[in-house]
Structure 1
């Protein structure tokens, strides 16, 4: 039985402190933002704007899932930070691994000089193992959609907590470093 699950999550952030550097400039710091949002122990750099993120284990009924997602993260010409999954593997469940597909897309943009908005969409398609084939479809769909919503909610909380803190730090570092004289040498 092929099952599809989906979730989306929007985020709106307002910075209530004086702004030293533009949010648009900050969003161009895609590598810095990746390391701000994701735990370093779970992240591996694969190449130019490409990262491998090993998620923490997720529980779905009696199954424990550990997705490993390759993510492309870049800022487009319009200054919008983009995130898109390129590949996904499941660790620990070989029987699901060949029949599992995960798609993640998201964006974050400066709405004004003091506000960021964004949205993420997560879709999963999986062939259910024999163990879950007799579980009623509405129950599977509700559980799967809730699991995905929880994943996106965690990402949203990371954005709300860490991103503004990092932006303010980056803004202060950038501002102060441009004022300091070059080192004597």
Structure 2
């Protein structure tokens, strides 16, 4: 039985503290943002703007799953930070790993110098193992969609807390370094 699960999450965030630099400039710091949103011990750099993110274990009914997602993160010409999954592996249950596909797309946009909006969409398609085929489909779908929504909610909370903190720090660091007189030799 092939099952599909989906969730989306939006963020609309005004930063009410004065800063020296705007969000547009900060969103161009894609590598810094990746390390702000995701724990360093869960990340591996694969190449320019591509990272492997090893998620913490997820519980789905009696199954414990550990997705490992390759993410491309870049800022496009319009200044929008883009996040897109490129590949996914699944640790935890070999039966699922062969028929598991995860798709993540998201973007963050500076609506103004102090207003951030964004959206993330997460979709999973999986062939259910025999163990779960007897579970009613509506129950499987509700649990799967709730699990994905929880993953996106965690990312949203990271944006609201850690990203804002890092933006304020970055803005202050940028201002201080640009305010220093040039060093003479």
Matched residue count: 185
> Which residues of 2 match residues 134-149 of structure 1 at below 5 A?
134-149=134-149
In structure 2, distance between residues paired with 1:134 and 1:151: 26
Q: Is the 8 A contact 2:19 2:172 kept in 1?
A: no
Equivalence for 2:164? 164
More displaced 10-residue stretch of structure 1: 89-98 or 101-110: 89-98
In structure 1, runs of 5+ residues without a counterpart are none
Equivalence for 1:21? 21
> Which residues of 2 match residues 24-43 of structure 1 at below 5 A?
24-43=24-43
Equivalence for 1:74? 74
Equivalence for 2:48? 48
In structure 1, distance between residues paired with 2:55 and 2:106: 17
Equivalence for 1:102? 102
Shift of 1:149: 0.2
Shift of 1:184: 4.4
Alpha-carbon displacement from aligned partner over 1:14-41 (angstroms, at most 9, x marks no partner): 1111121011000000000000000000
Cα RMSD, aligned residues only = 0.7
Equivalence for 2:60? 60
Secondary structure of 1:173's aligned partner: helix
In structure 2, distance between residues paired with 1:90 and 1:113: 39
In structure 1, distance between residues paired with 2:71 and 2:168: 25
Shift of 1:179: 1.1
In structure 2, runs of 5+ residues without a counterpart are none
Q: TM-score, normalised by structure 2?
A: 0.98
Alpha-carbon displacement from aligned partner over 1:96-137 (angstroms, at most 9, x marks no partner): 111000000000000112100000000000000000000000
More displaced 10-residue stretch of structure 1: 19-28 or 123-132: 19-28
Q: TM-score, normalised by structure 1?
A: 0.98
In structure 2, distance between residues paired with 1:173 and 1:133: 55
Secondary structure of 1:18's aligned partner: coil
Alpha-carbon displacement from aligned partner over 1:15-71 (angstroms, at most 9, x marks no partner): 111121011000000000000000000000000000000000000000000000000
